[in-house]
Chains A and B, each alone.
Chain A
Amino acid sequence: MFEREDDVVERVIQQLRRPVTIDPGLDARVMREIADAPRAKPRVWPLWSLLATAAVLGTLLITHPWTRADQSGPAAFQFVFVAPQAASVSLVGDFNDWDPNRSPMQTAQGVWATVVNLTPGRYRYAFLVNGVEWRADPGAPSAKDDEFGTPSSVVTVGGSGS
């Protein structure tokens, strides 16, 4: 089993040239990082300010957006996302074909909101910030079965239908 030495090195080279699997989520992580403007605040806002905002919003919300029970027919749900530094935020999910153009959100003082009509069902969704960054809804249950490397949340609408 005497192998010419060059052949051994050739075999090594062939082995090393085989494709290496790189985590598919890397692309999204890169884009997230570069989308953060250098002057932007850090991505994690202090919890107390989020809670304070949520408390204020709680009095304004039409309904709990994340679950609505005993419903028949479509009901209005308000989605809210706090992002003072964002230039644009879209609501994207199973209820609008994951199309960022369908539910752009409107902002007042850094709080982004929109209303969507939903029939009974379980919907995965997320917020698309500045067209590049995917963010889950901090106040909603998270969607664990996430196959595309980005975070999502869940809203469930109860009641009969479909």
Chain B
Amino acid sequence: MGIDKVEPSDAELVRRVRTGDIGAYGALVSRYRDRLGRYAVHMIGDHEDAEEALQDSFVRAYRSLARCYDPARFGAWLYGILVNRCRTTGARAARRRRMFVHDADALNGATHADQADRVEWTDTVDRALARLAPEYREAFLLKHVEDLEYVQIAELTGAGISALKMRVKRAREQLQQYLREAEHV
């Protein structure tokens, strides 16, 4: 109802931030937090660490905004910052990975069969994803969950396109294997 307000473009918001309108950066944060947050959570495997990485990335992007040479592609540029930041955290989190939040009690207490199934499936997927090597997981998430083109992923990660395709293929194979194993437990 009413007239839809036209949202300012990324380029417009970046322009405003550069002229001193800090508040405009808030709009950019709003715009990208959920999508980037999803990648960070799946990549890092720990919600708190992921939010920290996300927050850091936003701050870093703001502070180096002068180096965003194509403001219309702010989102992709921001992704690159996040992908790199997640690599650092990944190394830390791997050592103290807090996974498998769903314990048996949670499943036993589920009043709904569907809900128990949902929890179990989520858990299975999280475990399988966590077992992937980081570069496989990264490529898989960027390609299949975040829907980026190989050209874009190559830009973000610095890897060659054929190497990336191989990583995604390996990731798929390993996921199939882990899930088959999970079924037989």
Contact = CB atoms under 8 A, between A and B. Distances in A.
Q: Establish whether A and B are touching in the complex (CB under 8 Å).
A: yes
B38 A34 contact: no
A22 B54 contact: yes
A132 B20 CA distance: 13
A23 B54 CA distance: 11
Interface in A35-94: 35
B114 to A, nearest CB: 14
B152 to A, nearest CB: 17
B125 A22 contact: no
Contacts of A19: 34, 38
B71 interface: no
Contacts of B180: 8
Contact of A22 (B22, B33, B122, B172): B33
Nearest to A36: B59
Nearest to A16: B145
A8 B173 CA distance: 11
Contacts of A12: 125, 128-129, 175, 179
Interface string B23-51: 10110011001100110011000000001
Nearest to A5: B176
A33 B38 CA distance: 22
A12 to B, nearest CB: 5
A16 B43 CA distance: 11
Contact of A9 (B41, B42, B175): B175
Interface stretch (A24-32, A137-145, A148-156): A24-32
Interface residues of B, number: 32
Contacts of A131: 22-23
B82 interface: no
B86 to A, nearest CB: 14
Given A12-B125, A132-B22, A20 B55 contact: no
B59 A30 contact: yes
Contacts of A5: 176
Contact of A35 (B22, B55, B121): B22
B150 interface: no
B63 interface: yes
Interface in B103-137: 121-122, 125, 128-129
Nearest to B143: A13
Contacts of A13: 144-145
B77 interface: no
Given A23-B51, A27-B26, A132-B23, 5 more contacts: A9-B176, A16-B38, A20-B42, A29-B55, A34-B59
25 contacts: A8-B180, A12-B128, A13-B144, A15-B121, A15-B125, A16-B38, A16-B42, A16-B125, A17-B145, A20-B42, A22-B34, A22-B37, A22-B41, A22-B51, A27-B30, A30-B26, A30-B29, A31-B22, A31-B29, A33-B55, A34-B22, A34-B59, A34-B62, A35-B22, A132-B22
